[in-house]
Amino acid sequence: MTATSTGPAQIVWDITYSCPLRCTHCYSESGRRPSRQLDRVELLRVAEGLIELGPASIALAGGEPLLVKGVFEVAERLAGAGIEVILYTGGWSLSPWMTDPISRLFSRVSVSLDGATAEVHDRIRGRAGSFDRAMKALGLLDAAARERRGSGEREPWLGIDYVVVRSNFHQLEELCSTVSGRFPELGFVFFGAAVPAGLASRAGFQEHELISDAQAAELADGARAARCQALVPDTLRIRTTDNSFLWMYDVATGPGGGFHALQVEPDGAVRAMPIYEGTVGSLLTDPPAELWRRAVARWSDPFVVETLSPVATMAGWARAARALDQRFAAPEDLDRIARRPLFAAPRA
């Protein structure tokens, strides 16, 4: 999706940093820092600012969006403005009563599942029982998807978002075989390489868990996707990506080859580039159009150009992310970065 001169085509709003999980690859370090969650009035003020930018879609992520009191009111306001609203959830906090507003308000729902087995998923997600919770959430949402289909809805609505790291790379096909029979209404599975941002940019994570360049090539060339697709019904679409488009730099379009999703923090602060530290103002104090202008200007900052242009490998991407964070992060965020725990390599 390509940005326009007047506003972003896509916005990702990390609506809270509160999270019951402790994922090893978390780009926002959710669950390990203050939630920075706004009250109802301020949430709706931020929502109005996002509507003013005129995006085609807004993804509510985090943290865990379902922990936010008022999240459905926010989604209703966004959807009422004609915007496609997407939900990303780890599933832990999803209760049966939530399936009705989720089905009614969200155009698409992705449940995070980072392994085909509890052993792999729970280690990556940092909490025992998280696999079972995610599978339970998928079951509830599968039933909701069946009702949507019965009422005439045909677009893929429910899917899985699988963050690919070295220690779960071997389970892609197993995941497809497992979920295709268990959740018949599942419409998509997205296998995306862990982006070296936040906790995934740590040198130890880069060395032990960030996928290799050979593994990245497997995700990028489509062969792995084809093998996975052969294991599932035609109604379930498989997509794999190494996410390299997020660092590829073009002199005409900047980083991302023209893909520029605006990323919003829980308190309404706007990040200049979706996957790196550094904000350009707040939707609570600054005009939305001015924030977009500042974000666009950051892409052509000489340091950004110099840092991203030579990137050609996953390890190089991680080093570039660390350099960008050091250059643009606020002092309090630099303190947080300095306190990041060392990454321990998974047991063989």
For strands 108-112 and 10-14, give the pairing: unpaired
Residue with tokens 């497809």: 176
pLDDT in tens, 290-305: 999 999 888 889 999 9
302-314 tens-digit pLDDT? 999 999 999 999 9
Distances (CA, A) of 154 to 107, 149, 255: 11, 6, 35
Check residue 1 and give its pLDDT. Answer: 39
Q: How far apart are CA 332 and CA 138, in angstroms?
A: 38
- Output the pLDDT for position 347: 74
Query: pLDDT per residue over 308-342, tens digit each?
Result: 999 999 999 999 999 999 999 999 999 999 999 99
Average pLDDT over residues 246-267: 70
3-state secondary structure of 6: coil
Confidence band, pLDDT 50/70/90 cuts, at residue 254: low
- Round to whole Å and give the CA distance between 71 and 43: 9
d(CA 313, CA 14): 28
| Confidence band, pLDDT 50/70/90 cuts, at residue 269 | very high
pLDDT at 260: 67
Print burial letters for 21-55: b (CB count within 10 Å at least 16), e (below 16). Answer: bbbbbbbbbbbbeebbbbeeeebeebbebbbebbb
Chain segment 122-146, per-residue pLDDT in tens = 999 999 999 999 999 999 999 999 9
Q: For 10-338, CATH number?
A: 3.20.20.70
Q: Are 19 and 67 in contact (CB under 8 A)?
A: yes
